[in-house]
Amino acid sequence: MKRDVPRRRQLTTEDYFVGVRDCDITVLPRALTLIESNNPEHQRQAETLLTRLLPYTGNAIRVGISGAPGAGKSTFIEALGLQLTAQGRRVAVLAVDPSSGISGGSILGDKTRMSRLAAEPNAYIRPSPSAGTLGGVASKTRESLLVCEAAGYEIVLVETVGVGQSETMVAEMTDCFLALMLPGAGDDLQGIKRGLLELVDVIAVNKADSATLKAAELAAHQYEMAIHSILGKQDHPPQVLTCSALHDQRVDAVWQAVQQRYTAMKSGGDLAAKRSRQQVRWLWAIIEDRMKQALRKHPGVRRIREGLESEVLAGSLPPEAAASKILQTFGMQEPCGI
């Protein structure tokens, strides 16, 4: 649906609210840009907008998708998204791209990588640069997820760059966490950690076709053995499947496994409890982020920062001592454990 809202004038909060609720594709991206802005005035307006939209959120299935570079995340998401939209489902994809160190913009451009899905009227793809955010998840991905839910999208897929702490970050904002793996577990299996297995709901070994089919099946078996060895007996251990996103094989089986986990959590009351815990973690993540911004913008800190950094680089001042001086300048009189 499209409202007659001029694109060039500044939109009011009411314009944003009605446009998002109508899923106006000329307003929705502007609302997400407002949410992502670091401009203080924009942030205040975004907070008001999110507060108004909050009663209309929470009805979507939130799925995080992570995996090492080359695992075929975008190919898988496009194949899955096309299946879901063919069923009449409305799908939003929040694809977090690696960022350019020069401009801070997205490097890969997921609308280009998912061109067929981007052309579907029931799908919306929002590429966002990670901009150096720890965990490969854009700092406003959580808020963007709520906006997409308020716009009526039934399924929200969050794709991360698959580096560092991305698994933890995506698991803390979604209902189900899907990890895509490559055939021939090898180094991936050697590096698998208990923490990852405790976070993941479904493991899908992608590229299970032609010459790599046997390797994918072997990798899936090895992951199942690792789950049994590391986690022991659990009521709901992670499911392990194989698929080929490129050839659209068993992608539906992977989605069925995700839906089964979601349904079990919802019927047992675990979903509501999980989302409540996420809300509290979200609260403190926002506080920490804004504290960092305030620290960097503090006039006193800005005056001494360059000099202290030079001393640390020269080796004449320990980082701990430099940190204490910065924090004391910021207003924390007592040294804190670093």
Helix (H, G, I), strand (E, B) or coil at 241: strand
pTM: 0.85
User: Measuring CA to CA, which residue among 6, 8, 25, 67 is closest to residue 219?
Assistant: 67
| CATH 3.40.50.300 domain extents, the chain | 57-268
Q: What is the dihedral of CA 87, 89, 92, 93, to 10 degrees?
A: -30
Per-residue pLDDT tens for 247-274? Answer: 999 999 999 999 999 999 999 999 999 9
pLDDT computed for residue 68 by the predictor:
78
pLDDT computed for residue 191 by the predictor:
54
- Within 10 angstroms of residue 45's Cβ, the number of other Cβ atoms is 19
Q: Which stretches of the chain drop beneath a pLDDT of 70?
A: 1-8, 97-112, 129-139, 161-167, 185-195, 333-338
pLDDT computed for residue 112 by the predictor:
59
pLDDT computed for residue 172 by the predictor:
86
Total length of the chain: 338
For residue 181, the cross-strand partners are 205
User: Measuring CA to CA, which residue among 37, 3, 36, 39 is closest to residue 22?
Assistant: 3
What are the backbone dihedrals phi and psi of residue 174, each rounded to the nearest 5 degrees, phi first?
A: -125, 170
Report the C-alpha gap between 17 and 57 in whole angstroms.
13
Tell me yes or no: is domain 1-55 CATH 3.30.365.10. no
Per-residue pLDDT tens for 190-248? Answer: 556 666 777 889 999 999 998 899 999 998 988 888 888 877 777 778 999 999 999 99
- Within 10 angstroms of residue 8's Cβ, the number of other Cβ atoms is 4
Q: What is the dihedral of CA 162, 167, 168, 173, to 10 degrees?
A: 90
pLDDT computed for residue 37 by the predictor:
87
Report the C-alpha gap between 107 and 167 in whole angstroms.
21
What are the structure tokens assigned to 183, written together? 């055939």
User: Measuring CA to CA, which residue among 165, 209, 192, 195 is closest to residue 72?
Assistant: 209
H/E stretch holding 297: helix 270-297
What are the backbone dihedrals phi and psi of residue 112, each rounded to the nearest 5 degrees, phi first?
A: -75, -40
Residues 6 or more apart whose Cβ sits within 8 Å of residue 222: 185, 189
Report the C-alpha gap between 130 and 20 in whole angstroms.
24
Query: Which letter does DSSP use for residue 249 in this model?
Result: B
Contact 243, 204 (CB under 8 A): yes
pLDDT computed for residue 146 by the predictor:
96
- Cα-Cα end-to-end distance for the chain: 52
The CATH number fitting domain 57-268, selected from 3.40.50.10740, 3.40.50.300, 3.40.50.1820, 3.40.50.450: 3.40.50.300
pLDDT computed for residue 133 by the predictor:
47
pLDDT computed for residue 269 by the predictor:
92
Cα radius of gyration (the chain): 22
| CATH 1.20.5.170 domain extents, the chain | 1-55
Q: List for the chain the helix, strand, coil content (%; round to 5).
A: 55, 15, 35
pLDDT computed for residue 143 by the predictor:
92
